[in-house]
Structure 1
Amino acid sequence: MKGGAVKVDSGEGSIVDLTRTANLALDCVNAAIAANSQLLQDWEMFRARIKENGKCLVTRKAVIQGFIDDVLPPQDVLDPMERMENIPDIDHA
């Protein structure tokens, strides 16, 4: 056989089966190509979401750091009870 000719055993039936098999293989490859394309799109969406999530985390970090910077250390906080004037109890005397 030359030039890619197919040997036909029992006439047209074998060619039909061969064509059906080749078309099935082509359908499988086309489905895999479509799935790959979808994965690429999903990857780009996930990549964008990861970038946005990173920006949100940086913002949250800045807010928390700003809060920490504004809070006085415990040793610098005065106890209000120490400065409160002791008022005599006139109701229970």
Structure 2
Amino acid sequence: LKSKVGFKGIAKKVVLFLLVGVAAQLDAAMGSNSAIREATIFFFMGNELLSILENAGRMGIPLPQPLTNAVEILGGKSKQNKGDVE
């Protein structure tokens, strides 16, 4: 493993926690009932789950077909979106 890859991963996690903190502060400032914070957390949970499922598939771990289909659909959309931006 390269140290740059590891550092990038750690930096992403730090930013993730900072964004959750910012979302919590927005909730407090707006007087909402933790809706922004929870939405932020669920977004990142979904993103991490997708990454775990993709890596499990690459390792050859058998996954239920509906999960495999969902990973292919969501992974394809993110790759298409990245292609459009560049």
User: Same fold by TM-score, threshold 0.5 exceeded?
Assistant: no
Q: TM-score under structure 1 normalisation?
A: 0.35
Higher relative contact order (CA 8 A, sep 6+): 2
Larger Rg: 1
Instruction: Name the TM-score, length of structure 2 as normaliser.
Output: 0.37
Which protein is richer in helix relative to its size? 2
